[in-house]
Amino acid sequence: MADLTLNRLTSNRLAVLGSPIKHSRSPLLHRAAYRRLGLDWSYDAVEVKSGSLAMFLSKLEPEWRGLSLTMPLKQEVLPFIDDCDRVAQLTGSVNTVLLRRVKGRGTLSGFNTDVAGLVRALAESGVTQATHVTLLGAGATAASALMAAAELGAEFVTVLMRDAPRAQPLVELGRMLGVVVDLQDFSRVSRVDSDVVISTLPGGTVLPSPLPLELRERAVLFDVAYSPWPSGVATSWQAAGGTVVNGLGMLLHQALIQVRVFVTADPFEPLPDEPSVLAAMRGALTRDTGSRDAVEG
């Protein structure tokens, strides 16, 4: 189990970086976790635009312990990382950076907690296995979604996208994972047989045409978006009477794995009394979601 003598170390500053970042709920999740663990650590949201990451990293002081990364920085950070975990290496996507000192110098260790977060969120929604998964979009999160599909036991993954060359790395990743990946253009989709659909599209994305009705009626849609909500894809699914799960579960569970990394330096090392930590994080997220719904309503 984790040794919380880490609380006595001076490296106790963390943040989530990205752009835009105002909507991020990572601070409330992480702060709830550290309060429950009795750690006097700070965690903020910092606007860092594409092209500005190198400057930000160059100014980090020893008090910094770790970073969470969102768009557009998950690939941009790769040249600055000293070592990556296997998931980050395969997906080419880092959303968690642990700052350490090795032999007197600072090093950056990269992790991808999105895959574990997605698998855990799907399981919480009752999806623990799938043979055929469809991915919407081929952006930064698509590789993580493909790896999650492989962990569900998927043999086939259909990727619906607009830019085939951009999606080609997903075919190569599929080969490494033992999954057959088929690329299809959104505008030419006529029929897709799938157990689960994972949308990696931004919440405001408008598809060129609705996806097949039978797919929306039958397959569970897991939409990684959560703001704005409902997304255009989710609205289309709901109109067809289909089952929709938003991305808050993924956000919660990937954040829990991030907390493991920041506290124990190991994404597989459970936290002390981890169920209560997860409950505290879920409670903070639920209260925040409820207050936002009340304001927006």
What is the per-residue pLDDT for 8?
A: 43
What CATH class does 4-113+255-296 carry? alpha beta
Q: Is the pLDDT of residue 269 over 90?
A: yes
Share of residues in the chain with pLDDT > 90 (%): 79
Domain boundaries, the chain: 4-113+255-296, 115-248
What is the per-residue pLDDT for 205?
A: 85
DSSP string, 153-219: T-SEEEEEES-HHHHHHHHHHHHHHT-EEEEEEGGG------SEEEE-S-TT---SSPPPHHHHHHS
What is the per-residue pLDDT for 189?
A: 83
Residue 292 pLDDT class (50, 70, 90 cuts): low
Average pLDDT over the chain, rounded to an integer: 91
Kindly list the catalytic residues: 74
Measured over the CA atoms of residue 134, residue 293, residue 20 and residue 75, the dihedral's sign is negative
CB atoms within 10 A of CB 73: 25
Give how far the C-alpha of residue 193 lies from the chain's centroid of Cα atoms, to the nearest Å: 25
Verdict on whether the full-model pTM lies above 0.85: yes
d(CA 225, CA 233): 10
What is the per-residue pLDDT for 103?
A: 56
Share of residues in the chain with pLDDT > 70 (%): 93
The third-level CATH classification (topology) of the domain covering 115-248 is Rossmann fold (3.40.50)
Q: State pLDDT tens for residues 107-160.
A: 999 999 999 999 999 999 999 999 999 999 998 899 999 999 999 999 999 999
Residue range 204-219: average pLDDT?
89
d(CA 161, CA 203): 15
Residue range 2-29: average pLDDT?
79
